[in-house]
Structure 1
Amino acid sequence: MSRPRVVLATNNAKKLAELRRVVGDGVEVLALADVAPYPEPAETERTFEGNALLKARACVAATGLPALADDSGLEVDELGGMPGVRSARWAGRHGDDVANLELVLRQLEDVPAGRRTARFVCAVALALPDGSEHVLRRVWEGRLATAPAGANGFGYDPVFLPEGAGGRTAAQLSPEEKDAVSHRGQAVRAMAQTMAQVLGTGGERG
């Protein structure tokens, strides 16, 4: 029996690989490159949940297939919860990981360790052709280092020190370690359970 198909509404190859690992073999995850091009919506919402739903709704409308989308970012307490939904374009140009990371470090210069608390947030939305929608949010608590370390991951991973990671940054964790505890790993595992119920998949890999 063929597996149910879901389109993952992202052009981020690393995010695609990460989400495919967590979802496992119960569902065939298609990339945007696997479907006909369509106008992608601007991320104009003020919440991660809102932006995830925007992307999932546009994808299901264009493809007629179940669509999965996420929006995620970094909330820094010392910066009043920013960069937040602007995490990917914090330095001005979308997707410039190095510039975004360097700007946050400059903004936290001389801020003591006790006030460098932060969290990664991920909202995942599933939109179905019948109009039903499912959305959930998960967080990964930690604090920010003063300098980047590690070659794994992407985005702000090299400066994020997760709770319980023994002083290692998210970029120093193996993919398996990160998937087990990260905001996106938590969110996608939870959504995999929802997909198992509504699409009849085998659920998460475990």
Structure 2
Amino acid sequence: MTLYSYIGVEKVLPTHAPENTNTVALIARDTLDPGVTDEMVLKYIQNQTQDETITMDQIEFYDKEAEIVGTFEILEQVQTGPILKHFGSSFVYQTSDFPVWEPIENDSEVPDGFTTENVMEYLKMMDDAREVNATQQQGLMYILNNCFEDTNKVELYSCWDGEEAEREQFRRTVKWEAVKKNPLLLEMREKEFIVIEK
């Protein structure tokens, strides 16, 4: 099942540009082994897809994986469907996943059989996850700041695919001034609806 996230606002928000349909792969150079060239990546993708017509123009390269995952984004406006019944806002948008606000900690125990190399790979993966999450946090706060320049309320909700019509389990209201001082107030439980008021 897929978790979907939504934001309800009182103003029109710009949405994320659609993906280039010609692109077959997004590659982060910081995830490649040392010495791997762009040409090697192209050959690998051609082999994996069994399509030698794929060209370098169909691969988008990024310096860091965090650039691919991106920031918090407004994907598209929702104009019909059961999810709208939860919102009192004029405009409801589907978004990328809400960030995590609790600190992302490393596991304290190393599983049996893990080598030093496994541990180093795990620690790098966790550092990357924290970097991506921090970028998403900044993106959401930027959008909220923008909304509260000329609106008094923003609504946030996440639910699993197929559960849009079900009633939310939790509902709470927080003040924007309190959120700015303590963004941890935006940490959501499953099926929790949050109203942020100015």
After TM superposition, the score normalised by the length of structure 1 is 0.26
Q: Which has the higher contact order (CA 8 A, sep 6+)?
A: 2
Q: 1 or 2, which has the higher helix percentage?
A: 1
After TM superposition, the score normalised by the length of structure 2 is 0.26
